[in-house]
Structure 1
Amino acid sequence: MANRSTRVAEQMKKELGEIIARKLKDPRIGFVTVTDVEVTGDLQQATVYITVLGNNRKRSDTLKGLEQAKGFIRTEIGQRIRLRKTPELMFAFDVSAEYGSKIDTLLKQIKTEDNEKTEDIE
């Protein structure tokens, strides 16, 4: 059975995705996907990992919009999840997709080089 912080994190991930997509009207906030939420054991802080569709400027603008909307988002989370104290939110970019893409590119490059070396030998 999952511990309380894990259950809260899973519920927060679901609710945050809904709040960001449907409730926030800030034009700076782009297409955001909440990829993960990590909540401390004492439920005082939550790190919200996000991806944003677009370039670095769009990512930066989205982060600024989310930072400004933290109070509203925390209020919404508190009403939806009903915790005694809603965790303090910290937003961070999830770079795992970027790393995965780079690794995939490197693996393809290695495979191509190996194929070329094999052809040279034959």
Structure 2
Amino acid sequence: MAQDFKRTDRIGSQLQRDLADLVREEMKDPGLGMVTIQEVRVVRDLSQAKVFFTVMGTDLPVSECAKRLNQAAGHLRFLLGQQSKLRTVPKLHFVFDESVERGQHLASLIDQAVADNHSDS
């Protein structure tokens, strides 16, 4: 059981690296801005992978970025299949990673609380 977990982690890490390169090199959508693949989580049977991403340098709403990436998922999966040693490449589902924004928001709240605390003293 623990071996399966490690295998899915290894495959997820490899897919993350490969997808980062493919998105940078193959996505010809200038409206997307800079897409960063944060993490890839692969289900145990390797049939599906959830691809967490962030995006910078775009005016598009996050939902539109996810829609465009999911529209390209089939092509990206095909390209992964050509360069990968996997017998079957998981179906890709792109999901915006909110953890980075949440972390930045929490950091700004902490900074504000510290600044307020210093001004009260």
Q: Percent identity?
A: 35
Which stretch shows the higher mean deviation, 2-11 or 50-59?
A: 50-59
Q: Deviations over 1:37-91 (max 9, x none)?
A: 1111111111101111145625344322212211110011112222222111110
Pick one of 99, 107, 112 that aligns with 1:109: 112
State the partner residue of 1:20: 23
User: Which protein shows a greater Rg?
Assistant: 1
State the partner residue of 1:8: 11
Unmatched segments (≥5 aa) in structure 2: none
**CA 1:28–1:61 in structure 2 vs 1: closer, same or farther (change >3 Å)?**
farther
8 A contact 1:11–1:81 mirrored in 2: no
The residue correspondences of 1:92-107 to structure 2 (distance < 5 A) are 92-107=95-110
After TM superposition, the score normalised by the length of structure 2 is: 0.86
Pick one of 63, 71, 76 that aligns with 2:74: 71
After TM superposition, the score normalised by the length of structure 1 is: 0.85
Tell me the number of residue pairs that the alignment of Structure 1 and Structure 2 aligns.
118
State the partner residue of 1:29: 32
The RMSD of aligned alpha carbons is: 1.9
Deviation at residue 117 of structure 1 after TM alignment: 2.2
Deviation at residue 10 of structure 1 after TM alignment: 0.5
2:87 aligned with 1:87, yes or no? Answer: no
Q: Which amino acid in 1 is paired with 2:50?
A: T
Q: Deviations over 1:65-120 (max 9, x none)?
A: 212211110011112222222111110111111111111111111111211222xx
